[in-house]
């Protein structure tokens, strides 16, 4: 079963296609048209959080459609068993977009004033590069430290491959914060990159990952966003646990 509510939220995950369908290649897109965002678990789905934040950053009002956690396709995505799940999915003005990066690019096209991508071409290409790296990489981190917003694990041993992913992510953060001046990865305005890396912040907090002061401060900045507080509050209300993702030590 699914349930819907009206909010200003959204997200999407990967598919081995373009990630976008439209009834007409020439039909104009109206930003004010009704939009729906299909999501899975707010406690476990990092891809849903990414898409949801992108929609919020863009200021596109959407109706959320929540797929039941015990739905087979949603469960496969959460357990990393399927590479091509159509959740999250954004439907807007007759267009359906189901890949996180495609959603971000689509939102940038219809709402460029939101600044999801930097205006400077060099910074913009840099932003796209680190978003792509997050989108397609860090598999060891995903499997070793699954997203679980409600959990707090104080003594967690991170295995070596996941440590490599953590080192690369924190390197990206330090470089961006130093290069663009913070407090966000590309300066004073939140971008697609902050949405893409926000679920990593929750993972670092869940598993008590030790961070340098610069990266720890960035995590605090992300977690202080009203949107993150709203998402976390909703995640904690989810009644169903997925046993395979409830890590115990």
Give the model's pLDDT for residue 243.
52
pLDDT in tens, 63-111: 998 887 655 555 554 444 444 456 788 999 999 998 899 999 999 999 9
Strand partners, 62: 7
How far apart, in Å, are the Cα atoms of 249 and each of 20, 152, 153, 154?
41, 11, 8, 9
Q: Give residue 179's pLDDT band: very low, low, confident or very high (50, 70, 90).
A: very high
Torsion over CA: 226, 231, 236, 239 (sign):
positive
Question: Are the CB atoms for 33 and 86 separated by under 8 Å?
Answer: no
Region 25-43: what's the mean pLDDT? 75
How far apart, in Å, are the Cα atoms of 110 and each of 82, 115, 196?
30, 11, 19
State what percent of residues in the chain have pLDDT above 90: 64
Give the model's pLDDT for residue 4.
42
Q: Is the pLDDT of residue 174 over 80?
A: yes
Q: How many residues does the chain have?
A: 249
Give the model's pLDDT for residue 33.
76
* Residue scoring higher pLDDT (236 or 180): 180
* Residue scoring higher pLDDT (25 or 44): 44
Q: Which two tokens stand for residue 18?
A: 């373009």
How far apart, in Å, are the Cα atoms of 174 and each of 50, 73, 134, 141?
21, 36, 15, 18
Give the model's pLDDT for residue 238.
84
Question: Are the CB atoms for 108 and 117 separated by under 8 Å?
Answer: yes
Q: Give residue 224's pLDDT band: very low, low, confident or very high (50, 70, 90).
A: very high
Region 44-53: what's the mean pLDDT? 94
Q: Give residue 247's pLDDT band: very low, low, confident or very high (50, 70, 90).
A: very low
Cα–Cα dist 202/165, whole Å = 15
Residue linked to tokens 């009644």: 239
Check residue 187 and report its DSSP letter: B
Give the model's pLDDT for residue 73.
53
* Residue scoring higher pLDDT (49 or 66): 49
Residue of 195, 7, 12, 194 lying closest to 103 (CA atoms)? 12
Question: Are the CB atoms for 221 and 184 separated by under 8 Å?
Answer: yes
Q: Which domains does the chain carry? A: 2-114 (3.40.30.10), 121-235 (1.20.1050.10)
Region 172-177: what's the mean pLDDT? 98
* Residue scoring higher pLDDT (12 or 108): 108
Question: Are the CB atoms for 3 and 30 separated by under 8 Å?
Answer: no
* Residue scoring higher pLDDT (217 or 22): 217
Q: Is the pLDDT of residue 215 over 80?
A: yes
Residue ranges of alpha helices (H) inside 139-248 are 139-144, 160-180, 192-206, 213-223, 226-235
Give the model's pLDDT for residue 31.
62
How far apart, in Å, are the Cα atoms of 181 and each of 171, 173, 186?
15, 11, 8
Cα–chain-centroid distance for residue 115? 17
Give the model's pLDDT for residue 76.
52
């Amino acid at each position: 079963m699914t349930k819907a509510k009206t909010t200003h939220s959204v997200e999407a995950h990967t598919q081995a296609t373009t990630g976008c369908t439209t009834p007409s290649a020439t039909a104009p897109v109206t930003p004010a048209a009704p939009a729906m965002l299909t999501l899975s678990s707010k406690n476990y789905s990092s891809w849903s959080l990414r898409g949801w934040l992108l929609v919020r950053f863009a200021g596109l009002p959407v109706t959320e459609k929540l797929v039941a956690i015990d739905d087979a396709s949603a469960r496969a995505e959460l357990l990393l068993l399927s590479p091509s799940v159509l959740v999250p999915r954004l439907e807007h003005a007759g267009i359906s977009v189901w890949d996180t990066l495609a959603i971000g690019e689509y939102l940038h096209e219809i709402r460029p004033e939101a600044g999801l991508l930097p205006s400077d071409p060099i910074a913009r290409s840099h932003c796209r590069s680190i978003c792509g790296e997050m989108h397609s990489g860090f598999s060891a981190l995903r499997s070793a430290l699954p997203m679980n917003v409600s959990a707090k694990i104080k003594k967690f041993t991170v295995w070596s491959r996941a440590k490599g992913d953590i080192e690369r992510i924190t390197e990206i953060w330090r470089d961006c914060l130093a290069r663009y001046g913070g407090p966000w990865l590309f300066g004073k305005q939140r971008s697609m990159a902050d949405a893409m890396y926000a679920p990593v912040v929750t993972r670092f907090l869940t598993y008590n990952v030790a961070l340098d002061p610069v990266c720890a401060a960035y995590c605090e900045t992300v977690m202080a966003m009203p949107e993150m507080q709203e998402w976390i509050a909703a995640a904690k209300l989810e009644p169903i646990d997925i046993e395979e993702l409830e890590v115990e030590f």
